[in-house]
Amino acid sequence: MLDLTIAQKTVVTKRISEFLLVSGDGEPLPSYSPGAHIDVMTTAGARSYSLVDWPQDSGNSYRIAVQQEENGDGGSRHMHSLDQGAAISATAPKNDFELIDGTKPVALVAGGIGITPLISMATQMTAQGREFAFHYAGRSADVMAYLDPLRTTFGDRFTPHFDDAKTLNLPALMGGLTNHAVYICGPKGMIDAARDAAENAGIAAGDIHVELFSTGKAESGDRGFEIEVASTGQIIPVAADQTIIEALEAAGLDPLYDCARGDCGICQTAVISGTPDHRDVVLSQTERDSGTVMQICVSRAASDRLVLDL
């Protein structure tokens, strides 16, 4: 874990504040690559925040932007209650959303607070002279972070889209990006729509990269179900407000997982029988329809029991 100090707190929008974090003990901070995040310990548990890197940044600090979620579990409220000088603990940077080297032009497509990792990617590609287009969709200009510095820094490569003026037409956008690698980050609905549009436009699955900006929260109507562990026959109940991972851990198993929000693919598990209720952004529509694989950190069951290859 890293001991960090908030060197500066800046209000970005009514709901978004930026935190500039420096080493709390004077040790150099571990480096990171565009798309990386740190997990910050809050009173509601660990929360992942992407690292924001602008061309002028020096590399001896971390910058994160936190959107306060009114109906969240308190993690973002805790962060917003902290002021300059406060100490926090966080993991070293991890990256589940790497910008892959290549010669293809890149399209960055952000929704809401999902802008943050894409800023770091745009900064790196600017330094490399790599061709990219940067699209940022939000409800209206007043709730979107960093609009002015984005325009100033990335010029005509940057295009904002305001829902209150004209909603971003994802099929039309993706239709013009068929030779691109596409990086999408935002809330689940936006990612699902953007991924569908990209697939329908013929963009290769390997060129579609996503990161989800929310946790796999329970949804109203969620109900309990059972997991059968294929290797042992053990039956494990999963409560309506519990994830499969939580239920497995409560039963003494040690499932592999990382992001816990359905976008890294680490927890992917084969389904032997039963019907998954997919809540991730990892699987393609074809994989979902097959019903043979699922992300057990967020996805649930549409049947009373799932037999998993565990």
Gyration radius of the chain over CA positions: 20
Measured distance between the N- and C-terminal CA atoms of the chain, rounded to whole angstroms: 30
Sheet holding 106-111, edge to edge: 158-162, 132-138, 106-111, 181-186, 208-212
Nearer to ligand FES, 4 or 212 (CB): 212
Contact 53, 12 (CB under 8 A): no
Q: Write down the least CB distance from residue 299 to ligand FES, Å.
A: 8
> How far, in whole angstroms, is CA 222 from its chain's centroid?
23
Q: Please give the residue ranges that form the binding site for ligand FES (CB under 6 A).
A: 257-260, 262-267, 280, 282, 295, 297
Nearer to ligand FES, 65 or 259 (CB): 259
User: Is the CB of residue 11 less than 8 Å from the CB of residue 40?
Assistant: no
Cβ distance to ligand FES smaller for residue 159 or 242: 242
What does DSSP assign to residue 156? G
Tell the smallest beta-carbon distance from residue 32 to ligand FES (Å): 19
Nearest CB to ligand FES, comparing residues 53 and 280: 280
Q: Which is nearer to ligand FES, 119 or 264 (CB)?
A: 264
Question: Which pair of tokens denotes residue 233?
Answer: 């026959």
Nearer to ligand FES (CB atom), residue 52 or residue 264: 264
The Cβ of residue 3 has, within 10 Å, a number of other Cβ atoms equal to 13
Smallest gap from residue 262 Cβ to ligand FES (A):
5
Shortest distance, position 212 Cβ to ligand FES, whole Å: 9
Q: Distance of alpha carbon 33 from its chain centroid, rounded? A: 15
Minimum CB distance to ligand FES, residue 261 (Å):
7
Minimum CB–partner distance for residue 246 and ligand FES (Å): 12
Q: How far is CA 259 from CA 149, 164, 282, in A?
A: 29, 32, 12
What is the C-alpha separation between 120 and 125, in angstroms, rounded? 9
